[in-house]
Structure formats: C-alpha cells, structure tokens
Amino acid sequence: MSALASLYPQPLWQWFAQICAIPHPSKHEQALSQHIQAWARSLGLSVVEDRVGNLIIKKPATAGMENCKTVVIQAHLDMVPQKNADKVHNFTTDPIDAYVDGEWVKARGTTLGADNGIGMSSALAILGSNDIKHGPLEVLLTVDEEAGMTGAFGVEPGMLQAEILINTDSEQEGEIYMGCAGGVDAEFSVPVQWQPVIAGSQAFTLSLSGLKGGHSGVNIHLGRGNANKLLARFLANYAKVLQLNIAAFNGGSLRNAIPREAEVTLTLPETQLTELQQKVVEFEAILKQELSVVEPAIKLSLTKVNAPTQVLTSAAAQQLINILNVCPNGVMRMSDEVAGVTETSLNVGVVTTKENSIQILCLIRSLIDSGRTQIENMLSSLAQLAGVKVKFSGAYPGWKPNPESPVMAIVNQTYQDIYHKEPVIMVIHAGLECGLFKKPYPEMDMVSIGPTIRYPHGPDEMVNIKTVGQYWELLLAVLERIPVKT
C-alpha cells in the first residue's frame, strides 16, 4: 500500500490505499462509510447519511468562487466482489491486496475496486484539500450501486443543491460520457423434481474455468466466453448419449459480471466413464479452437466426488439444459446512432441450484426502452414455451444524451486546452446512476469522466496510473472553470 500512496497524485492515491484496506463489497459498505464520516466531521465538513445509507458531504467554496454554481461530485461506495477460484479471500473482512505492476495498479487474485474507488478517492482528496480552487461543493457517495443501485434509487429531491453533477464512474481516459444504458434483472425459476441416485453410479464435478469474465455491459461486445452457456452446451451435446444425471448446476456470482466459472455435479454409469473423460477432452479442444483469441486460458476439468443422495429426473434435467442452451446471451443489437457502442445486450449471469428450483439470473441492458422491452418479451416467450416462471425486477432508466449540455461543453473545451486534442464524446453500455438522478433532479446538468480501467467486475481489473493523473488534472481544471450563477 505504501507504493500506491506514493503515486501521482498523492492525495488521491493515499485515499485509494485507505479504501483498499477497508472491506466494502456491495451491501457491506458501512465500515468504509463510518471511516469517511468520522474523517469529514474532523475537518468540520457537513455530513449527512440519508435513509438508505448514501453520504452527502458539503464543503464551502474557496475564496473568490462563492458565486459559482454548486457542483456535486458523485461516486459509489461499493465494489464488485469477484475472485479467482484458487484465491482465499473474504471480501467482508479482508483488505484488497493491491500492487503496482509497471503502468498499472492491480490486485492479487481479486477485483481491485478501482471501479469506483478511484472516483471516490478523487472526491475525498478534493474535500480534504486546502489549495484546490472550486465553488460550493457537494460530494454524493451512493451505496449498493453494483448490486441494484439501491442508493441511487433512494436519492430524494432537496438533498442536493447542486446544478451540475460530475459522475466519476466512467472507465476510459479521453472519453466524456453523456448517456448510458438502462437495465432490468430477469430471473427464471425452473422447478425441479428429484429421483434417487442409481446404485453403482459414479459421481463427478465437471468444472469450466479460466475465462476472463468482466463487466457485463462494457465488455459484452468482446465475445468472451460465458461459463454458464458453455457448460450448458456440453450438457446439450452429451447428457443423453452418456446417460448423465444432474445433481446440481451452479455458475457465476453476479448478474452484472460475465460468468468466468461454472460447475455441474453429475452421476453416470461406470461403463460411461471412459467416454465421458474423452468427451471432456474433445470439448475443451473445441472451445480452445473457437475461443483461442479471447479465452486462451479456458479449462474443463473433471473431479471425482462423493455420490449425492439425489439427482434431477430426466425430464427436469432436460428442461434445465434446454433453457440454458437456448437462452439468448451477449450482444442483441449494436447502436446505429453511436458507432461501436452496444445498444441492447443480455448476460446469463448466475445459475443457482436450490431444493425446489434452479434460479437463472440475467441482466438486460439497453440504451433505449424499446430494446429492453423486446428482450423482456423474448424471455417471457421462452419461459412460456419452457413451462417455467420468469420475473423482472430492479428496472432502472438510461441516461438520455444531451448534446447541448453546458457542463459537457466545459469538460470538452478544458480537455482540449490541457491535452491539445479532442476527447471522444460517448454513450456507455453500462448502468451509470445519472439516469436515476434525473428523476428527483430533472434540470441537473450531468457529465461522466474517469481514468482508464480495464476488466472491471473481474479479478483481472486494473487501472492505468498515468490516466489517473490525467483524470485528476481534468477534474480540477473543470472545477476551476465552473461559471457563476445566473
């Protein structure tokens, strides 16, 4: 952590080192929140924790800028808790083991939390500064952004006085974001019936691992493997011919992360074991051939386990396999208006076996409401054909782009003045909280910026050190250019 704290800009990286040391996965942000509150109050700043746990910290303007428009810098307190299968780590108790690797900061075997820890660190560093010029300032730190946007949903009218909001949750230096996708969760509930295990059966766990995973919005267009879909494909090919019985299917851990790992517990007649082993080798070779460029580390492994007491009936197993195999996944449509940006997508994120059902949790994203509705209709049709239930929940709106945004114009011009090149004005295929803020604050002018973060929502997450400095310089320069109230 000392290596992090010495990076430029030091005030930001010193805060990021502190944040890494305090566990703060989604729905477990309280320890970090209390730490920040105690620190802010020690500086004499106004601190409010609202009814859902969001923090609003206010700082007066520096001398000579009292008449400028009030700005709120916004970030979220939580991080995505993802780790490699061989990594021993408890996200609710263990610190993030962050380290410097050349031009990047990474974490050993887990997500780093640069999403959105860097943005949060920048806001806190500005609050603690004595020499940064700014007008009246508010910092909004929301809870549970990654697991349902609970904090953003809970933001109420009157909590903020700002006319301008700078969201810090973007992940590419040199890009200014003026819009984002909306989304909704879709959960299939597949009923199960059980039967006893046939005497003399062999039991194994078939595991698929080594995938890159990543953000189910930002990375969805990269064609990365989905562990749930690939394992379902194996079962669709071989379950009947090998007389496989399914005792459990579990894969992925977050609906907004492309699943990197999945496993199915199987039983089969001993006479089929040799052929199963052969098919595992053959299927791994097929996947490596198909996905060698995007998934060079893909691995399919078979491990002998104790026999379970029950397995799915053949009808229940076939129903599960059919649903997983046919369920859409990945990019549904690219945007015609914003080149290179995904318009609508679906991620088959989590499969969980329970006593009475198997739950399949997906996340639909779309830049347009009609695109989201179309995927909902597709999944409803699939559920009806399959004879299962699907429910939709947690819908959140997109952030409609405003090409005439005054604050976007300020950020755009400021970037050109500093770096002598034009930034890219973008719409992101991810769920920024700005869309939700527009409901209680419809007139608030918003923009989103950030440093370059690669592979968020997965253990390969990393943040580029140089771009953190560039993001910091841009943010400070923008604050200095905020106009006076009219």
Just list the catalytic residues.
78, 145
Rounded CA gap, 431 and 117, in Å?
17
Rounded CA gap, 414 and 449, in Å?
12
Instruction: Say what the alpha-carbon torsion angle 448, 467, 367, 373 is, to the nearest 10 degrees.
Output: -110
SS3 of residue 33 by DSSP: helix
Rounded CA gap, 310 and 422, in Å?
62
Separation of CA 309 from chain center: 37
Give phi and psi for 333, each to the nearest 5: -165, 140
Residues 6+ apart with CB under 8 A from 376: 184, 186, 364, 392
The label of the residue with tokens 């299968």 reads 85
**What are the beta bridge partners of residue 366?**
182, 344
The label of the residue with tokens 């250019």 reads 481
Comparing C-alpha atoms, which of 359, 362, 338 is closest to residue 349?
A: 362
**Per-residue DSSP letters for 352-421?**
EE-SSEEEEEEEEEESSHHHHHHHHHHHHHHHHHHT-EEEEEEEE--B---TT-HHHHHHHHHHHHHHSS
Give the other-Cβ count within 10 Å of 445's Cβ.
Answer: 20
**What are the beta bridge partners of residue 106?**
99, 462
**What are the beta bridge partners of residue 196?**
310
Residues 366-385: b if buried by 16+ CB within 10 A, e if exposed: bbbeebbebbbebbeebbee
Give phi and psi for 463, each to the nearest 5: -125, 135
Rounded CA gap, 398 and 404, in Å?
18
Give the other-Cβ count within 10 Å of 30's Cβ.
Answer: 13
Rounded CA gap, 229 and 233, in Å?
6
Comparing C-alpha atoms, which of 469, 21, 27 is closest to residue 36?
A: 21
**Per-residue DSSP letters for 49-115?**
E-TTS-EEEEEPPPTT-TTBPPEEEEEES-B---B-TT----TTTSPP-EEEETTEEEESSB---HH
Separation of CA 310 from chain center: 35
